Amino acid sequence: MIEIDRYKCGYCGACVSVCPTDAIELVGTWIKIEEGTCNSCKACVNVCPVGALELEPDRN
């Protein structure tokens, strides 16, 4: 799962535009990631200009 650092996030929407599964949504000034839809491909992590997204370690 992708983790968002909301203190770093500028809500630019770059992550939304590159998500291949449409799992990320920009709602006003809030980024929402649908856990069931996100496949942790890291496209959003790679495009974030401020480094606000990272791949969360597997909890299993």
**CATH (residue range 2-55):** 3.30.70.20
Residues above pLDDT 90, as percent of the chain: 83
- pLDDT for the residue numbered 56: 87
**pLDDT tens column, 28-46:** 888 999 999 999 999 999 9
- pLDDT for the residue numbered 59: 62
Contacts 24+ apart (CB under 8 A), 51-58: 51/5, 51/8, 52/4, 52/5, 52/6, 52/8, 52/9, 52/10, 53/2, 53/3, 53/4, 53/5, 53/9, 53/15, 54/2, 54/3, 54/5, 55/1, 55/2, 55/3, 56/1, 56/2, 56/3
- pLDDT for the residue numbered 9: 94
Q: Where are the domains of the chain?
A: 2-55
